[in-house]
């Protein structure tokens, strides 16, 4: 009986060793394959993000309202300048789409996933700082229409949780916080606040509000206050946006400052 027990114990130990060896070899095999799998997954994320951002950026830059802005700057109607502006805008849209695609693809790297499991607040801060590229299109100081800016407000309305981060790699770095305010299921207001810091002596606060109304109508309010050693300045912009039944857009923007300006346009979907 003792001999049989020793034989069974030995067989069990050998089986456990084989199981450990098999599990160890599978782990090594997974580790060996993971860099290629991650590279393929990163490329797929980048491709998807690039296609989405490029479609959005080109539609924004080549929108009829954007062309209207160019013609307003032309004055006498220089067709050569208009062609140069179109080419420059296309190149800039392509470059921006590539950069934004890389940024959005990078937030799902294994390091970010590991950090999210252990430091959720820090992970959200980094994700919002690197990605959420649509927030950069919010223009509280401009009365003109921007398609990407409207897309950002739409995304924020769908997921109205707090989004916050910093944009350090800019000529005018800033920190931002965006949120949707609700009363139950009813969206009351969308808000985006920035603190802009430039050249160690120029500071600026920017506030953008979007108030959705009935029948596809919304009112946006943009305000800015700049203060530095030499001067202080205020800025106020009011925008009225209406979606038409045929897919068109009616838009009015007003800029209130020392020299007030008004911008209005209507576009129809073909």
DSSP assigned state of 135: G
Q: What is the pLDDT of residues 106-122, one digit of tens each?
A: 888 888 878 878 777 88
Helices then strands (H, E): number in the chain?
6, 8
Query: Dihedral of the CA atoms 146, 151, 152, 153 (nearest 10)?
Result: 90
Nearest to 170 by CA among 199, 131, 141, 206: 199
- The percent of residues in the chain predicted with pLDDT above 70, rounded, is 77
Beta bridge partners of 190: 180, 210
Burial call 195-233: b when 16+ CB within 10 Å, e when fewer: ebbeeeeeebebebbbebeeeeebebbbbbebeeeeeee
Question: Is the pLDDT assigned to residue 2 strictly greater than 50?
Answer: no
Q: What is the pLDDT of residues 51-66, one digit of tens each?
A: 888 888 888 877 777 6
For the segment 172-176, the average pLDDT, to the nearest whole number, is: 93
Chain mean pLDDT for the chain: 78
Q: Higher model confidence: residue 191 or residue 50?
A: 191
């Amino acid at each position: 009986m003792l001999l049989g027990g020793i034989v069974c114990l030995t067989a069990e130990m050998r089986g456990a060793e084989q199981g450990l060896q098999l599990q160890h070899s599978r782990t090594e095999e997974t580790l060996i394959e993971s860099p290629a799998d991650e590279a393929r997954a990163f490329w797929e994320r980048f491709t998807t993000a690039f296609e989405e951002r490029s479609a959005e950026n080109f539609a924004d830059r080549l929108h009829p309202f954007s062309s209207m802005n160019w013609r307003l700057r032309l004055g006498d109607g220089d067709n050569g300048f208009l062609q140069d502006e179109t080419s420059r805008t296309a190149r800039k849209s392509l470059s921006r789409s590539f950069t934004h695609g890389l940024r959005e693809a990078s937030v799902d790297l294994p390091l970010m996933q590991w950090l999210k499991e252990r430091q959720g607040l820090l992970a959200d801060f980094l994700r919002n700082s690197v990605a959420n590229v649509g927030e950069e299109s919010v223009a509280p100081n401009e009365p003109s229409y921007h398609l990407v800016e409207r897309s950002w407000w739409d995304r924020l309305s769908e997921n109205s949780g707090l989004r916050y981060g910093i944009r350090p790699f800019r000529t005018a770095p800033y920190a931002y916080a965006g949120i949707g305010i609700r009363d139950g299921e009813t969206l009351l207001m969308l808000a985006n606040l920035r603190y802009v810091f430039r050249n160690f002596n120029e500071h600026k606060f920017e506030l953008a509000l979007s108030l959705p109304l009935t029948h596809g109508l919304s009112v946006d309010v943009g305000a800015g206050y700049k203060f530095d050693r030499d001067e202080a300045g205020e800025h106020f912009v009011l925008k009225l946006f209406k979606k038409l039944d045929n897919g068109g857009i009616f838009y009015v923007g007003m800029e209130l400052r020392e020299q007030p300006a008004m911008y209005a346009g209507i576009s129809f979907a073909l």
